[in-house]
Structure 1
């Protein structure tokens, strides 16, 4: 028996040695993923630029937030903070070369040249690495002015690249993943040779929202990061529509109509609610003073709406002014304190919960606040739906940001025909965002001022592009405030909305079980009921007239 087991072990030994060799040759990040240790860890080295310090900082933050869509285990340092051997503690390394003249530590360059982990280099300074096994090198400037397109995955998109380099490829094993076109010959934009990935130039967003004429290179980078990090796409492309600036100045019937339409078409949505609107005369009106609006918001919440706390006062009736930033001084509010901002958030959450509304995300009024205010927001809400300077728009959710929140990006803009902002603009941006295999298209709509027909066009257009609407209630969002309404507040909330909502639930149940019920509901009962009552009255009177007109039958002796 022992001899048989020994012979079996000898037969299995070569196979076991082969498996062990394969495991040891896996890249570090892939080995961690197979071991079930979560997403890869990334060291991001962002080079400073004495001439353009703010641009260098913004570029580093933008790359950091792109990486944190895939892994929160992303650590950013400057080259000066690098210590020899530091990259060995990470699965991937990303270097952002912001300045061609600024030196990099020799220890960093030596460690980057050692094989064993994927390295992505963006922008300037690649020539400081020896070509080694990568099979390519960056040479002099390419004629960037003639490059007008970027080609990726068989498609060509408009582009306006900045400074890019000519690339010399010396190995057939180099893969060009994307290239710029328009000159005499294509110029590689993103390529890979061995463990080295190179992004030719520094792609960044050019405006407040994705520009179909310029921003495709940034989206190509956002998509290539899936392959660099070894992370597959996270399901279908998603879309979100947020009803914006909803407060006491919005007609409740408009909210009911829009929520009913979105629910009927299986579209989850978000509602940015201002709980205590301050008007220009200084007066403040809370939601509880408008029970019809509370009922409408409860109706929207039950029909797929995710409630977003959109500030506390939002200052004026238009809902278009700053609350956590001094616009005139372009600076933080004088005398700001943690307590004054915390009180606003706690009162806002309390008002919503007292009225049966549960906030799940935060939205900064006008997307502008001081660093102190952003830290306060992060203490109460794990997720926010907005863009934030200096990073700007993102193509997918990411986090934590520098203040600790996960951001759901707002990247489509809004509809304002009087300002020349149209549904077609939003859909053009959504079409561009499709470059990213798991991109999100998130825009907003003002129910107080824009016709519902515009919203319907947006929904239909996003669906036609293949987007699936995301239900933000499914996010692992956390609201860190323990207040809950007491018995009196719950009773008041039920008296305001409970019976009305019960009728709405009954209507939903009837619609689900009786196919003909929607036709009954849509019937013009306001006209039919009076007509039916009048008809019944006429029939009754007719019967009485006939009875009165009949001759009396006289009885006689037989």
Structure 2
């Protein structure tokens, strides 16, 4: 049935690949706007987008007849469905995806066409959703009851148990109409029912990606105050398991209350531990610069005001640019090379993201779809934000909490993720949590059939005037200002492959075109001074460099 539905959708869509979202509620602020924004961010996974979001009140007659795909997202209790929209939808032949409320307005226009009847709303709140033999607890307390009057016309893709012995359609298709019986992102959490729609979008868009089970692991919130021994133990375990991983680095630790600030240069043992992690297959992700703006590092936000629920009052492109430049300089001076970005507490304005995208083309993140608190996109697969020009490699399973360590919760989330045919199950772990929990998590996910991959497998770039860090290869350049130029390549496991230092100082643009094996890492950089040869008994990371 999946293949048939996909083929029918593809045939209906024809060559037109535009996507239009009609939503209700206040412009740019409503819950329906957030839901539409979340789905819009996923379009690139299907070689679509960017989509257009239009408030229902601004709908213009005839607009629904043009795009290849049309989403109607209504979440306000008071109907705000323009008559012109309903008339256009009734004539439309291409796919319609109606999400949540007021679908009865459409069904009543032509009951025989759809073979469906809206029976009202159920608020009893004891619901479970079943899809592909997996059961999901429905996090919010309401859904739309739809009666299927003509079963031969309707494919029920997912069902809902109402707790009273009755089952109802949760997601269905009748002719060119897809219907989702609630707001799938309302109270959404890791491993939750949002995965149902995320998978069925393959059928809506007629693009059935090959099945895969890729997984990713990130070691989170590492600051110069963390214990190097714990970091080494984690790296050694993961290398033994042949699991690549990410290293979320905060290069400066601040505690304003105690008037303490510690950077990488103050903690050489920590720097050695980070290098040890990269030598064991870790890839560095810059996780902010201080991960705070008024409180303690890693506890506080850096680019968002959590009190007002808005961007920082003093946020500006120059401030963000200067902050990132300082953090990167701290890393480069210690020969640490971030490849991607993670926003502290997953919170920043779109303007801040635009500046960060000047440096990084890949975020390992939950990107905020809009400047609204709680607008982080929970995605089961990578997507591209075309406005920012970045690829988002999502985190979507959660983490093991030190106060209540339960790796089995993440394993349940990962098991639920298997309903997404090409899902990427991604989680994080703190170095101060006992290692036994990481062992249970990693080995459990392996038993579920997940294959751990590296951020480098997606092809990422960091570009500054002085550094090009890439796992993609291709063409890149830096600018030398009477400086030496050095090129270094590592394998996917962190082994040094080659290092070449220019014989003399250079000026101007320095360009290179490089080819990299899968998972490799290449750095082109400028140096103010020519490095001396390391001591014979130097630290492990220096062995074999020259």
> TM-score, normalised on structure 2?
0.76
- SS of equivalent residue, structure 2 residue 124: helix
- Describe the shift of the 1:248–1:155 C-alpha distance in structure 2 as closer, same or farther (beyond 3 A): closer
- Describe the shift of the 1:144–1:489 C-alpha distance in structure 2 as closer, same or farther (beyond 3 A): farther
- SS of equivalent residue, structure 2 residue 335: coil
Alignment of 1:48-63 (within 5 A): 48=25, 54-63=30-39
2:159 aligned to 147, 165, 179, which one? Answer: 179
Runs of 5+ consecutive residues of structure 2 not aligned to the other structure:
1-6, 369-373, 468-524
Q: Distance in 1 between matches of 2:530 and 2:89?
A: 61
- Describe the shift of the 1:313–1:131 C-alpha distance in structure 2 as closer, same or farther (beyond 3 A): same
Alignment of 1:346-357 (within 5 A): 346-357=325-336
Q: What is the match of residue 395 of structure 2?
A: 410
Q: Distance in 2 between matches of 1:146 and 1:253?
A: 48
2:183 aligned to 189, 193, 202, which one? Answer: 202
Q: What is the match of residue 231 of structure 1?
A: 207
Q: What is the match of residue 107 of structure 1?
A: 84
1:457 aligned to 440, 445, 461, which one? Answer: 440
* Deviates further, 192-201 or 163-172: 163-172
Q: Tell me whether 1:500 sits opposite 2:540 in the alignment.
A: yes
* Deviates further, 161-170 or 340-349: 161-170
Q: Cα offset for 1:152? A: 1.9
1:162 aligned to 129, 139, 142, which one? Answer: 142
Q: What is the match of residue 119 of structure 1?
A: 96
Q: Cα offset for 1:111? A: 2.8
- SS of equivalent residue, structure 1 residue 101: coil
Q: What is the match of residue 478 of structure 1?
A: 461
- Describe the shift of the 1:496–1:435 C-alpha distance in structure 2 as closer, same or farther (beyond 3 A): farther
Q: What is the match of residue 138 of structure 1?
A: 117
Q: Cα offset for 1:185? A: 3.2
Q: Distance in 1 between matches of 2:154 and 2:86?
A: 21
Q: What is the match of residue 426 of structure 1?
A: 410
Whether the aligned pair in 2 keeps the contact of 1:291 and 1:496 (CA below 8 Å) is no
Whether the aligned pair in 1 keeps the contact of 2:254 and 2:290 (CA below 8 Å) is yes
Alignment of 1:302-321 (within 5 A): 302-315=279-292, 319-321=298-300
Q: What is the match of residue 420 of structure 2?
A: 436
> TM-score, normalised on structure 1?
0.75
Q: Tell me whether 1:390 sits opposite 2:375 in the alignment.
A: yes
Q: What is the match of residue 219 of structure 1?
A: 195
- Describe the shift of the 1:492–1:246 C-alpha distance in structure 2 as closer, same or farther (beyond 3 A): farther
- Describe the shift of the 1:135–1:104 C-alpha distance in structure 2 as closer, same or farther (beyond 3 A): closer
Whether the aligned pair in 2 keeps the contact of 1:95 and 1:121 (CA below 8 Å) is yes
Q: Tell me whether 1:468 sits opposite 2:451 in the alignment.
A: yes
Aligned residues: 469
How large is the Cα RMSD of the aligned pairs?
Answer: 3.3
Q: Cα offset for 1:101? A: 3.4
Q: Cα offset for 1:392? A: 4.8
Structure with the largest fraction of helix: 1
